[in-house]
Homo-oligomer: A and B are copies of this chain.
Amino acid sequence: MTAPSGFGRHVVVRTIERARLELVDGLAPIGTASVHEAIGKRGYLGAELRPIQQDVRIAGTAVTVLVHPSDNIMIHAAVEVCREGDVLVVATTSPSSHGIFGDLLATSLTTRGVRGLVIDTGVRDTMDLRQMGFPVWSRWVSCQGPIKAVAGSVNVPVTIGGVVIEPGDVVTADDDGVVVVPRDEAQWALDRSVARLDTEAATRERLAAGELGVDFYGLRQQLADLGVEYVD
């Protein structure tokens, strides 16, 4: 009855391979919707993760944390392994609204150059966090604070919204939500996204000039094939 490797172990993985920061910085200003499309409609963490601020767009490398609901001891453990350019990504083992992250943890992360937080549970001190300029995407805002009693892990794969996030992946986030790009696809995702931006700009120009999408995208035939009739 030998346990499978890793069973029951709780680990803090100190050393992870991160996506190259120049690629991350390239992806930052693009916008999550465009990145999501560019990489094949993948990586979106779902419509229930909402920003606590408006008009902020970031990208960073994921340091992942898996916590028991309402417990933030592993977030404290994670601070130490964060570095310039990271985004902290916190998942829970079951649904919870507790505000297990606040301005003190944000202070710590800021000193290490962490760019923001993505958390699939609650956050608090939101006025302070906005004032500090520390951006957060969370499922809940809640005063209810954390316990520090149950083990979890840092820098293991986690899932949010059906997406598997590996440590070191690229996290992009803005007002539309959060999109994660696998680390080894960062260069390709950047190329694709930039190309897409170019195409979109050209499209936008033609649409702005009054050209119709049904013509531009060639949808008239498809509408006919689908049996859509035009009537007056």
Chain A residues in contact with chain B, CB under 8 A? 1-4, 7-15, 31-33, 36-37, 39-41, 44, 46-47, 50, 55, 57, 68-70, 73-74, 76-77, 79-80, 91, 93-99, 102-105, 107-108, 110-111, 122, 124-128, 130, 140-145, 147-153, 159-160, 162-164, 174-177, 179, 182, 184-185, 188, 191-192, 195, 200, 203-204, 207-210, 212-214, 217, 219, 222-223, 226-232
Contacts and interface: CB of A to CB of B under 8 A. Distances in A.
Given A10-B227, A33-B125, A149-B149, 20 more contacts: A1-B195, A10-B226, A11-B229, A13-B232, A31-B127, A33-B99, A33-B143, A36-B145, A55-B127, A69-B96, A70-B70, A76-B217, A79-B212, A79-B214, A94-B97, A94-B98, A94-B142, A111-B210, A148-B219, A148-B222
B94 A95 contact: no
B185 A4 contact: yes
A175 B95 contact: no
Contact of A104 (B7, B210, B213): B213
Contacts of A200: 104
A1 to B, nearest CB: 5
A107 B207 contact: yes
A231 B174 CA distance: 33
A191 B214 CA distance: 38
How many chain copies does the complex carry? 6
Contacts of A33: 99, 102, 124-125, 143, 145
A153 B142 CA distance: 23
9 contacts: A7-B39, A37-B145, A47-B97, A55-B127, A69-B70, A79-B214, A126-B176, A143-B177, A159-B164
Would you list the 10 A-B pairs with minimal beta carbon distance, nearest first?
A: A151-B226, A47-B142, A149-B149, A33-B124, A76-B213, A36-B143, A44-B143, A15-B232, A1-B191, A10-B228
A144 B219 contact: no
A111 B208 contact: yes
A83 B225 CA distance: 26
